[in-house]
Structure formats: structure tokens, C-alpha cells
Amino acid sequence: MAPERLHSTWVHSDRPVPSYFVRPVQRFMANEAASGIFLFVAAVIAVIWANSELVDAYHHLWNSELIVEIGSFNLGLTLEEFVNDGLMVIFFFVVGLEIKRELVIGELRDPKAAVLPVVAALGGMLVPALIYVGIAGGGGPEVLRGWAVPVATDIAFSVAVLSLMRKRVPIAARIFLLALAIADDLGGILVIAIFYTQDLNVRYLIAVVVTILIIISASRVGIRSYVVYVPLAFALWFFFLESGIHATIAGVTLAFLTPAHPMYPAGQFKRRAETVVATYPAEVDTQQEREHLDHQVMALSQVSRESVAPLTRLEEILQPWVAFAIVPVFALANAGVEFQGSVIDALFSSLALGVALGLVFGKTIGITLASWISVKLRIAAMPTGTNWHQMIGVAAIAGIGFTVALFITALAFTDPVLANEAKAGVFFGSIVAGVLGSAILLTAKKPGTVSQDAP
């Protein structure tokens, strides 16, 4: 065997399993559109399942109860609640990490650069909500609770569609959509925390505050071990769950408590690494030398690990699990729209129309208008190399609202009929928004042709 082959890992070897299965899967998962494809497949399976002869099995599965008992402690959740109130905490934790990264070291750090996506996100939330209220608001207080369903942009789907249009969209416009979606997610989180909070339990709220203070104190004194923070994270989740504030806010809270900067600066890692490498012997003669060398390497390993910010490290670890496991499972549990009778009847209810038109027209008009006003008032600048035709296309694609829209649907409606109508609106509106945005971008001038005229 060739010398270089000896040093190659199993994943990069020529064996059948890594060659024909592992590496192709890795390449697929590295594609920007991959998570969107997973999400789409899960949603389609849920719809087919919910409208098949196995619909009772669908509901039986997600209504199955999971009970955790430890001594006198007892926690019972249905499988659907476990997904929505448990697994989705990890989703919102990763979203919170993305938001904090953008605020601390990313596109939203510079106030001037942040103005356009933030103002556009606000416009893209306000106009869809107004359209929903205008169309469905006469349906009564329970229907009105769904005003926030069309305000959210789905990052996975929107990025997947935009990645297919990459030759028609400048890089700056894609970055604008990502920043807008992150600002939009922050707005969605605030909406959930403020408008979909149940009766508050003061005792558990105090426990939430105490747990947060413990986490902050542990971070300040330099404790870095997950052994400490994982139990505290579970405790914070439970206290949020029992407090009346939706449990997913625990994920966002933990994300904002996660350090965005490494413990050790780059220079210290460089010096320590050079010292170890320079003194690393070709051979080890004695057990004492071996133990000394092991100590040096372990110390270097610790410095290497802590030379990466916890925020970055956790995001890298959790992102694939969220994109390819948690969010598809959420879609499977929540996207099961039952089209009882005519599909047309479900789609043309005032609630479904309010959601769909809010996503399609509300997002397009709100984002475009807010962006245009910001540019005309000179408080923001257009993304480099982008014209208004492309901006309108990006705004339309931002109307793809799926994950957070379905999540808010579950919070807003207890009536399964209303929930189904809202889900139908989310499906229809997201599909139309994706097609409309793609069509607009396909007819736009190629990147680099900039126009500052009104849209």
C-alpha cells in the first residue's frame, strides 16, 4: 500500500461503503439546498399520510404519551408536544446562535449594514399581518389569533430556492436575504414570547431568573465544561415550560448566553502549538517521556478547543442535526393537513387566504417597500451589484414561510379545523411565493446591472 494511503482516513479511502455511500451523502448534505429538500420530503410525507387510510395511525403516533418519572418528579408530554416543546428548543437555540453571531461578528454588527435587512424584515412582518387581519379578521377572536402565521420566513426553504437561482442573484443579495431571515426570526421569537405566552407562574419565573444567573456566573468564573451547562440547560427548559412562557424561548435565551468569542486569542494557540511541535521527538524512549509528551499534547488540545468560540463550536455540532433531523421530524408532526372534502374549499377559506396572500403579497410588498424607503431616505444602501428587479424577486422568495409559520399555527389554534386551514394557507402561499420569486429572478438582468430607480 502506498505511504499516503496509510495516512488516509476510512472516509476518504477507496472502499465501497465510503466511496458509494458516505462521501456522496456528505456532498449532498454540504449543498445549500439539501436541508430544504429534506424538509420538503418530510412535509409531503406528512400530507400524504394525513390524507390516506392510515390517518388514524398518524394521529395515534403523535398523540402517544411520553412520561418521565424520577422519584416524585413526573413530566408527561405527547410525542407531538415533545417535538414542538422539546426538540424545537434545539432549533431555536441554533437560530439564536445565528442571530447572536450576526449581531456580534456578522452582517448585523455594523448598524449601517444592518439597517436595510432589519427595516426590510419589519416591513415584511407588518404588511403580511395587516393583510391577514384585513382578510380573516372578521372570523372572530380565535381566527384573529393567527395574525402572526404569515410573518415568518423559512431560512431552509428560501436559501434552497435562492441557491438554485445563484447565477441570477448577486452574492450581496443572497447575504441580504440571510440577514433579513435572521432579523425576521428574531421578530418571530419576540412575537411568540409576547403574544403566545400563557398565564404566567411567578414561582417558575423566579426559577428561570435564578438559573440564568447561575449560568452567567459559571461563565464569568471560567467554567467551560458541558457537564455543568447541559443539566442547567435542561433545568432552564423545564422552568420555562412550566412558567407559561413558551419553552422554545429557553433555547434563544441559552444562545444569547453562549460566548461568541474564544477563551484564548489566536496568538496563544500559535505559540503553544509551535512549542509542542518544536519539541516533539521522533521517538519516545521512556515511560516518563511518554507521559510528559501526553501532558503537552493534552494541554495543546485544550487550548485548541478553547481557541474556537463556544458559539461557533455548538453551531457546527448542532446545525446538521437541526437541518436533517429535528426540522424534518417537526414537519412530519405538524404538516399533516387533512383536506376533508374539497381542497379548493380548504384553500379558499378566509383564514387560508389571509395566510397565503400575506405570505405572497405581504412579504413581497412589505420587504420591497421598506427597502425602497430606506434607500430613498439614504439611511441604507442597496446590496452591491443588485437591482430593484432582483430585490423584488428576493422579497418574493422571503414569502416562503414554513417551519416557524407552522410552529405559530400550532400555538395560535386549538381548533383542528382552523389549524388545517392555516396549514393549507402556509403550503399554498409558500409554493406560490417560491415560484413567483424564481420567475421574477429568471427575468431579471444578470448580477452587476444596478438600477436605483423605484421598483
Give exposure, 328-365, as e/b (b: 16+ Cβ within 10 Å).
Answer: bbbbbbbbbbbeeeeeeebbebbbbbbbbbbbbbbbbb
What is the pLDDT confidence band of residue 11, given thresholds at 50, 70 and 90?
low
Q: What integer pLDDT is reported at residue 5 of this predicted model?
A: 42
What is the pLDDT confidence band of residue 392, given thresholds at 50, 70 and 90?
very high
Q: What is the mean pLDDT of residues 48-72?
A: 86
Q: What integer pLDDT is reported at residue 227 of this predicted model?
A: 92
Which ranges constitute the DSSP H helices of 263-324?
266-279, 287-306, 310-321
Query: Is residue 49 a contact partner of residue 59, using CB atoms and an 8 Å limit?
Result: no
**CB count, 10 Å around CB of 59?**
16
Q: What is the mean pLDDT of residues 400-415?
A: 89
* Whether pLDDT at 165 is above 90: no
* Whether pLDDT at 4 is above 50: no
Q: What is the mean pLDDT of residues 54-80?
A: 84
pLDDT for 366-378, tens place per residue? Answer: 999 999 999 999 8
Q: What integer pLDDT is reported at residue 122 of this predicted model?
A: 95
> Rounded distance, CA 49 to CA 42, Å?
10
Task: Name the more confident of 357 and 286.
Answer: 357
What is the pLDDT confidence band of residue 71, given thresholds at 50, 70 and 90?
low
> Rounded distance, CA 82 to CA 62, Å?
9
* Whether pLDDT at 28 is above 50: no
Q: What integer pLDDT is reported at residue 364 of this predicted model?
A: 96
> Rounded distance, CA 188 to CA 125, Å?
9
Which ranges constitute the DSSP H helices of 170-286?
171-195, 202-220, 226-243, 248-257, 266-279
Nearest-10 crossing angle of helices 248-257, 202-220 = 20
Q: What is the mean pLDDT of residues 51-62?
A: 90
As to burial, measured by CB atoms within 10 angstroms (0-12 exposed, 13-18 middle, 19+ buried), residue 1 is exposed
The DSSP output letter for 335 is: -
* Whether pLDDT at 393 is above 90: yes
pLDDT for 169-204, tens place per residue? Answer: 888 888 888 888 888 888 888 888 888 887 789 999
Query: Is residue 182 a contact partner of residue 152, using CB atoms and an 8 Å limit?
Result: no
Over pLDDT 70: what percentage of the chain?
88
Q: What integer pLDDT is reported at residue 358 of this predicted model?
A: 96
Q: What integer pLDDT is reported at residue 3 of this predicted model?
A: 42
Query: Which of 162-171, 258-267, 379-388 has the weakest average pLDDT?
Result: 162-171
Phi, psi dihedral angles at 77 (to 5 degrees): -135, 145
Q: What is the pTM of this model?
A: 0.79
Average pLDDT along the chain: 83
Q: Classify the phi-psi angles of 202: left when phi > 0, otherwise alpha if psi is within -120 to 50, otherwise beta.
A: alpha
What is the pLDDT confidence band of residue 341, given thresholds at 50, 70 and 90?
low
